[in-house]
Structure 1
Amino acid sequence: MAQHRIGLIGLGMAVTPHAKSLMDLSDRVRVAGAFARSAARRQAFAERFPFPVVDGLEALLADRTVDAVMILTPPDTHLDLVRRCAAAGKHILLEKPLEVTTARAEQLVAACREAGVTLGLVLQHRFRPAALRFAAMQREGAIGALVSASASIRLWRPQSYYDEPGRGTLARDGGGVLITQGIHTLDLLQSLAGPVAEVTGYALTSAVHRMETEDLACAALRFESGALGTLEATTAAFPGFPERIEITGTAASATLLGVDLHVQHADGRVTELRPGGGGGTGADPMAFPHDYHRSVLADFLDALDHNRPPAASGAEALRVHYLVDALLESARTGRPCRVRTLPTTV
């Protein structure tokens, strides 16, 4: 496999697991340069990691030996950066979510498609060993036909988290718990249970937080398969609990609790996987191992090497945007709302 040269754009809170992953995969990828607009952030990054920093984005875009970039900046900056990088012929691994509105997210995905570059999203819950094991069991028919699928996302963020400028706002983040924290579990849920077709939901800002967007949402779900389920998502559940996905099939019932898997088969067998790790559910959102970020990066590099879409592609990320939009629309109107399907051009 060829060694890729990559540019790193954005050196804030989210950079640490990505930098560690790049170090682990140094046989496959080399950092050509790391950029942030803030000189202080560039200096702090250079003191922690053995990668070169650059003081201008154009240097990375103009370097023809750089074939890919990782964009780790706030959501409201994504469309402009992706357009510039795609126009320069760079493949893109992008931190979630795609953008602050679905319209901008669709423009972003279209920009990559039209430029012929690969777009991958950092949706690392797909790469937890328990999720991979369950997906393999599904493919083997061990779960049977889907009957129901539900998710519970009960996280904790103190008010100080939302006091940081831009946090939990529509302008910078694009929303609250659903698109910022819940996106990982919503992506995993739909990757395992299939797209949601219709949702009836409620969403609000609880008495726990002072913020513009929702920190509490719940919904009834109807999947395209006809299966039913529920969703609960909040950042007001002190001290924070592992995310939970429960799936019932005709041959088994399964629970994904954080990084653990428990499957009760109809024939009496039990399948369990408890690898340990996890975290990030409490006051420190970065308190987790970087293993799953490394798997996201490895899958992205595999996609480039084998000319295939990444597991978490732009199209897969759009599915979450469509689900969140429908839930919030249902909350506003008090009526069930259909979830948009992916356009044929994606």
Structure 2
Amino acid sequence: MIRVAIIGAGAISRAHIEGYLAFPERCQIVAVADIFVEKAEEAVDKFGLAGQARAAADYKELLGQGIDLVSVCTPPYTHAEIAKSFLLAGSHVLVEKPMAASLRECDEMNEAAAQSGKILSVVAQNRFRSPMMKLKQVLDEGLAGKIVHAQVDSYWWRGHCYYDLWWRGTWEKEGGGCTINHAVHHIDALQWMMGMPKEVQALMANTSHDNAEVEDLSVAVLRFDSGALGQVTSSVVHHGEEQQLIFQGAAARISAPWKVKASVSKENGFPQPNPELERQLQELYDRLPEVEHEGHKGQIDNVLQGIEQGTPVLIDGHSGRSTLELITAIYKSASTNQLVKLPLAQEDPFYTREGIQAHATHFYEKTRSVTGFSKNEITVSGEK
């Protein structure tokens, strides 16, 4: 039986707790920790963990206590310290996105994992959804042809009060805005499917949230070694919250949500449909299996298998680092108005958390905050 601890009892912890509870024959939650211990106690009661899980105010109380696997569900600026502590104490670690607040912290986390021999996995739960998994497999088959353009639309909408929460909206504690904390899922999927670009040019703005230092909208253009171009729009100002990942191949267009279109040239160069290729791509997509467990549950299953069978996890610390490196390049380009070439060197000012805080664009100063939302109601923003 794998003994599990949840560190951080905020909103995202629910997905982790429910994920572990889906596998009662394989794991047991034995502790929940939060600096606001009443939140940990509430989680223990809410999910029926009384009698099997203790509530703790400090994660350090759990180090060396026979914890096999830890889910780190705390704000991004704490990820590195907590993950390193548990890895070096002999626990496997599943850490929420983004992996850390800087590339240096990612490297330290990966070093701790290598030193301990334990699993470090970074949450990217969208990879464990059928449309995304099947799109990756269709791309790998190559039927759509050489990819010439990739499009990421990570459209979300958040009200002004969203950034009133104490750790949100600051470069120090959140590490950025919508690019790192909302579009991270689509950016992860992009680099998983296409690999890393070699150049990034980006712009960002804060259009609607003057209670945050960070961006609420960014647009980036990417160039890949293959010659393909990509574009990534990250937003918390888009009504409707549509999200999509589109790949334009030389022969066809495929995407998540799934859609396929294929064209061939008429004699005059104008397009006409290629129904035969569309049929082949649709048949391939339909033949591919649905994932057994979706979202966080799927990733937790993958990590449990890694522990039980000694197999690699789908998303390790190096994959998590690649996603953060691409996001960091977007922030560097948008803050300096420069074309950024990848990979980023350790000497780069944006390699460290301190460097990011010093050089990233600060749109506004965060002057008010609350420690938690009560029944999703909040009043700070309305007090002008």
Aligned partner of residue 54 in structure 1, secondary structure: strand
1:196-226, CA deviations, whole angstroms, 9 ceiling, x for partnerless residues?
Answer: 2111111121145431011111011112332
Structure 1 residues 154-163 or 303-312, which shifts more? Answer: 303-312
2:15 corresponds to which residue?
17
1:251 corresponds to which residue?
251
Structure 1 residues 170-179 or 101-110, which shifts more? Answer: 101-110
Aligned partner of residue 6 in structure 1, secondary structure: strand
Contact 1:32 1:60 (C-alpha < 8 Å) held by counterparts? no
Please report the TM-score for the alignment, with normalisation by the length of structure 2.
Answer: 0.78
- Tell me which amino acid in the other structure corresponds to 2:117: G
Structure 1 residues 46-55 or 128-137, which shifts more? Answer: 46-55
Larger Rg: 2
Is residue 264 of structure 1 aligned with residue 267 of structure 2?
Answer: no
- Tell me which amino acid in the other structure corresponds to 2:70: V
1:66-86, CA deviations, whole angstroms, 9 ceiling, x for partnerless residues?
Answer: 321111111111121112101
Within 5 Å, give how 1:168-207 maps onto structure 2: 168-207=169-208
* CA distance in 2 between partners of 1:172 and 1:117 (Å): 27
2:72 corresponds to which residue?
71
1:41 corresponds to which residue?
39
Contact 1:194 1:224 (C-alpha < 8 Å) held by counterparts? no
- Tell me which amino acid in the other structure corresponds to 1:166: W
- Tell me which amino acid in the other structure corresponds to 1:224: D
Pick closer, same or farther for the CA change 1:333–1:57 going to 2, 3 Å: closer
2:368 corresponds to which residue?
none
Aligned partner of residue 62 in structure 1, secondary structure: coil
Within 5 Å, give how 1:78-157 maps onto structure 2: 78-157=79-158
Aligned partner of residue 244 in structure 1, secondary structure: strand
1:278 corresponds to which residue?
none
Aligned partner of residue 144 in structure 1, secondary structure: coil
Aligned partner of 1:29 among 27, 30, 40: 27
Pick closer, same or farther for the CA change 1:196–1:80 going to 2, 3 Å: same
2:349 corresponds to which residue?
none
Pick closer, same or farther for the CA change 1:142–1:28 going to 2, 3 Å: farther
**What are the ranges of 5 or more consecutive residues in structure 1 without an aligned counterpart?**
275-289
Contact 1:82 1:112 (C-alpha < 8 Å) held by counterparts? no
Pick closer, same or farther for the CA change 1:324–1:43 going to 2, 3 Å: same
Q: Across the two proteins, how many residue pairs are aligned to each other? A: 321
* CA distance in 2 between partners of 1:222 and 1:228 (Å): 5
Question: What is the aligned-residue RMSD (CA, Å)?
Answer: 2.2
Contact 1:120 1:312 (C-alpha < 8 Å) held by counterparts? yes
Deviation at 1:59, TM superposition (A): 5.0
* CA distance in 2 between partners of 1:82 and 1:334 (Å): 34
- Tell me which amino acid in the other structure corresponds to 2:254: A
1:111-160, CA deviations, whole angstroms, 9 ceiling, x for partnerless residues?
Answer: 22222111001111111100111112123333222221111111101111
